[in-house]
Amino acid sequence: MKAREVNFDGLVGLTHHYAGLSFGNEASTKHQFRVSNPKLAAKQGLLKMKALADAGFAQGVIPPQERPNVPLLRQLGFSGSDEQVVERAAKQAPQLLSAVSSASSMWVANAATVCPSADSLDGKTHFTVANLNNKFHRASEAPTTENLLRAIFRDQQVFSVHGALPQVAMFGDEGAANHNRLGGAYGEPSTQLFIYGREEAKAGLVPARYPARQTLEASQAVARLNQVNPDLLVFAQQNPTVIDQGVFHNDVIAVSNRQVLFCHEQAFLHQHDLYAQLREKVSGFTAIEVPADKVSVADAVGTYLFNSQLLSREDGSMTLVLPEESRQHAGVWRYLNEVLAADNPISDLQVYDLRESMANGGGPACLRLRVVLNEAEQKAVNPAVMMNDKLFITLNNWVDRWYRDQLTQADLADPQLLREGREALDELTHILDLGSVYPFQR
């Protein structure tokens, strides 16, 4: 049975703004308080989804979360009606209101880690929701992410969705952004490479300046929950010095597809040992390694060339889906064209304008969750979330009706934004046939 990779992209939420919340993510810090355009952000994302769907890649959509997160504000001691809760938070702690209003769930590469059925001991497709413990504004995504995944992958005969790991630093887990799957055909058992930033139990090498968000302990627990066949597992540490240069997730410095790993030469701590392990486990393993004298780590972080999607076409060749920023940089673009000309599976570069998401540190790869599905599993997915001409038009109209074209931290105090958000999401759950998934619906 033929399996394929389906990409599910996060739809940008109505409160997308630049809050400067992610220490260690340099774009987030740099763009704090810049005026955002949620409408444009959502449309940029939809255009990428539609273009990839039109090019024959299977594409789904994951909806945004309810923001501001009023229950979370109540947990922090703000009381009264929902409107009063928001109003009081805006007055007493505007930075908290901003955090609980973040549209960060758009970066669904951090929603969960996925184990395709070919790799799991029980033959099911597993999802473990990420706890995103390192950042307050992101840790609150987990419960609704779980509801959303259950509403999309709802057939429990074939899908198994696990709740997030315990919310403590020891089990900090950032989902698929720190996970690669390497192998042959998608439906064949493949090697799962879990990348971590530090090991809680050992005083090993760790970054000095910025946090290592993912622990080895978390990666091991996710592999257990997902029932990954132990023969297929590899764990490797990210290079702490690149974390200190702004590589807060592995998908900022490496991307894989089938037998190919496209990465910077400084991505991993013991890079050559890792290649040796992968050569042994993955038939035809191909590393396309970018040297620092061609692209510095700073330029990789600035242009996000590795935060790309590496997609297989029918003939086995691969398309690299890149953000506009990597075309704008002469040296990076020259290097990418050298990769194109060289003898390797990459034979096409596609560039998208994702400027709104990029300014918060999210490129093409951050916006998508990869799910390998065989034919029966594809049929078991909630069909209303799959991108096609009709859904594209419906979602664009929905965005036009509900989204603002500029937003600042001060606007978050507007009780109308809360009401608009709920009405819009209520409508969206009908469009995507999700049932009741948000706190305000329960």
Q: Applying CB under 6 A, which part among 84-92, 161-169, 356-364, 381-389 lies near ligand SUO?
A: 356-364
Q: Does 174 participate in catalysis according to the annotation?
A: yes
Identify the residue among 101, 303, 309, 360 touching ligand SUO (CB under 6 A): 360
Q: Which is nearer to ligand SUO, 86 or 247 (CB)?
A: 247
Identify the residue among 3, 11, 12, 21 touching ligand SUO (CB under 6 A): 21
109 binds ligand SUO per the rule CB under 6 A: yes
Q: In the range 161-200, which residues lie near ligand SUO by CB under 6 A?
A: 177
CB 212 within 8 A of CB 243: yes
Q: Applying CB under 6 A, which part among 105-113, 261-269, 309-317, 400-408 lies near ligand SUO?
A: 105-113
Residue 174 Cβ, how far from ligand SUO at the closest point, in Å? 8
Query: Is 409 strand, coil or helix?
Result: helix
362 binds ligand SUO per the rule CB under 6 A: yes
Tokens of 182: 């390497």
Q: In the range 239-278, which residues lie near ligand SUO by CB under 6 A?
A: 248-249
Q: Which residues are annotated as a binding site for substrate?
A: 19-28, 110, 137-138, 213, 251, 360
CB 210 within 8 A of CB 243: yes
Q: Where are the beta strands (DSSP E) in 106-259?
A: 112-115, 125-129, 159-162, 179-182, 191-196, 233-237, 254-257
Q: Applying CB under 6 A, which part among 16-24, 50-58, 219-227, 387-395 lies near ligand SUO?
A: 16-24
Non-local (6+) Cβ contacts of 358 within 8 A are 27, 304, 323, 325
Antiparallel, parallel or unpaired: β 125-129 and 368-373: unpaired
Tokens of 154: 């709802």
Helices (H) and strands (E) in the chain, counts: 17, 15
Tell me which residue has tokens 């076409």.
313
SS3 content of the chain, % helix, strand, coil (to 5): 40, 20, 40
Q: Which is nearer to ligand SUO, 35 or 201 (CB)?
A: 35
Q: Applying CB under 6 A, which part among 99-107, 151-159, 256-264, 329-337 lies near ligand SUO?
A: 99-107
Looking at 5, 249, 263, 264, which residue is catalytic?
A: 249
Q: Does 249 participate in catalysis according to the annotation?
A: yes
Three-state SS annotation for 204-217? CCCCCCCCCCCEHH
| Residues 22-61: x where in contact with ligand SUO by CB under 6 A, - otherwise, as a string | x--x--x---------------------------------
CB 81 within 8 A of CB 144: no
First to last CA, the chain: 39
368 binds ligand SUO per the rule CB under 6 A: no
Identify the residue among 6, 8, 18, 257 touching ligand SUO (CB under 6 A): 18
Tokens of 379: 């049929």
Question: Which positions touch ligand SUO (CB under 6 A)?
Answer: 18-22, 25, 28, 102, 104, 107, 109-110, 138, 177, 248-249, 360-362, 366
Active site residues: 174, 249, 366
